[in-house]
Amino acid sequence: MPSSRSFSTYRKFMSENLQFVRFMVVLVTGAAIDVALMNILLWIFINGINLGSEAVMLASAGGFIGGLASNYLLHRYWTFRGVEQQSVGRQLPVFVVVSFSALVLRLIVVSLLFPIAQSGAASAMSDAALARTLGANFAQMTAMGVSMVWNYYANRRWTYRAAAKRVGLEHV
């Protein structure tokens, strides 16, 4: 007959795995919202408002904000539900500061990669608008990867610290 200790260990293991699966679902959902919104805004800024090179930066920031809102709400009310958390009044400002630092990091990466990616795409095709869109998407995806790594560790350490301690992940 299994001991209560082994059952407790199994329960903790399952809880951590379920939380990780939820985290990944939220990550994919936020990324989909981010990229979709970035492309919608890019089209509006270039075709509707006729912005120049700043269109990519503004669209990237807009996509980030859409994904950010989705991620915060889903993490708070789904990924870490049932786990003791700080009040929204204490947690949200930390989340916003961490996220703003990730946005700054993302915009630096986009501003560095977009001209290179657009130039590379333009040399492979004659459609300048398509080259710009492909370059913007390449820069966005790369910057998302960089900012996601920062976001995960910073939010785990500061924003969701009580939740991390509760499931035994405070060392992450």
Alpha-carbon distances, residue 156 vs 1, 16, 37, 95, 161 (angstroms): 37, 14, 26, 10, 6
Whole-model pTM?
A: 0.65
Ramachandran angles phi, psi of 28, nearest 5°: -65, -40
Q: What is the pLDDT along the chain (172 residues), one digit of tens a residue?
A: 556 666 566 566 566 678 778 878 998 899 899 999 988 998 898 888 877 778 888 998 899 899 989 988 898 888 877 655 677 788 888 888 988 898 899 889 988 988 888 888 878 778 887 888 888 888 888 998 888 788 778 877 887 765 445 444 444 4
Alpha-carbon distances, residue 157 vs 2, 21, 60, 98, 171 (angstroms): 34, 19, 26, 10, 8
Q: Which among 78, 58, 71 is positioned nearest to 31, based on CA atoms? A: 71
Q: Which among 113, 115, 98, 105 is positioned nearest to 153, based on CA atoms? A: 98
Which residue has tokens 């610290």?
Answer: 161
Say if residues 80 and 26 touch (Cβ distance below 8 Å): no
